[in-house]
Structures are given as C-alpha cells and as structure tokens.
Amino acid sequence: MVKHGQALDWPPFSHGAYAGQQANAKAAKIGVWVGTFQTPWDRRAAHAEGAKRAASKPPGIISRRLVIVSLKVRKAASQTK
C-alpha cells in the first residue's frame, strides 16, 4: 500500500522499513502524494491540543442563550395561533 501511495510509513513503528517505497510514491506523485494533506499523527496532535483547551472551559453562556432565544420564539409562535 505504501508503494502505491495508499498508506504512509510511520517510522516510530516501522523503523523506516517503508521509507524507500514512500519516497518512490512521493516522487511519482501517486495516491495521497497527488495533492497536499496533513499526516494523521499531526492532525491528531493538533486536535488533541484543541480538545484539551475546549474541555477546560466551563459551558458558555452562548449555549444557554440560544436555548432561551429558541424558547421565546416558540412561545411567540404559539401565542399568534
């Protein structure tokens, strides 16, 4: 799969066993190497940082405010019938 650009060599686990195949696929611009992309481990790391920050924040007033606004809209709609 690495040879055809359908998988990536992850050196921490493969110890570079597929590095040559990946280099050939990248040079030939086949599979994932046709365009640009973010490696799965970089994406997970980037989103893990965001998840930690979001989890550390208390629930925001915005969500409660949206509920209140929607309740007011429903109440107003029921009164007009």
C-alpha pair distances (Å), 16 with each of 25, 28, 53, 72: 15, 19, 34, 61
pLDDT band of residue 42 (cuts 50, 70, 90) is confident
Mean pLDDT of 35-41: 88
- pLDDT > 80? residue 46: yes
CA distance 37 to 6: 13
pLDDT band of residue 69 (cuts 50, 70, 90) is very low
Tell if the pTM clears 0.75, that is, is over it: no
